[in-house]
Amino acid sequence: MEINLEEYGRKVFEMKDNPSSLDTLGIELIGFYAYYQSMMIPLELQEAKFWQENKDWKAEKPKSDATVRALWKCTPEGMKMIELDRVLKTIDKLCSMIKSSVRRAEMENHNQM
């Protein structure tokens, strides 16, 4: 299951004046968010293990956090974690925009009454 972020971005824009459709779209996006967030759990555990193995705590001068972070990002798991993080941030922004659009529509509807 993979999300097409560009497609969802276009859908949010196209449906900006249709709160009901935006609500449905928001539910779909939350489902994707949960899916991608669940994929982050094992990667975060792998990252912790990587730090434990590569920080070199007992050395006279352990590797800096920035160095270990850079080394982690170069691993296949680190790259996957970066990708998932960006997907999650984009989904979060889309959901935020949906909430704003629904709120705007509600206020416009309220003001017309």
- The pTM of this model reads 0.86
**Tens digit of each residue's pLDDT, the chain (113 residues):** 799 999 999 999 999 888 889 999 999 999 999 999 999 999 999 999 999 999 988 889 999 999 999 999 999 999 999 999 999 999 999 999 999 888 888 888 777 77
65-73 vs 76-112: helix crossing angle, rounded to 10: 90
69-75: list long-range contacts, CB under 8 Å, 24+ apart.
72/47, 75/50
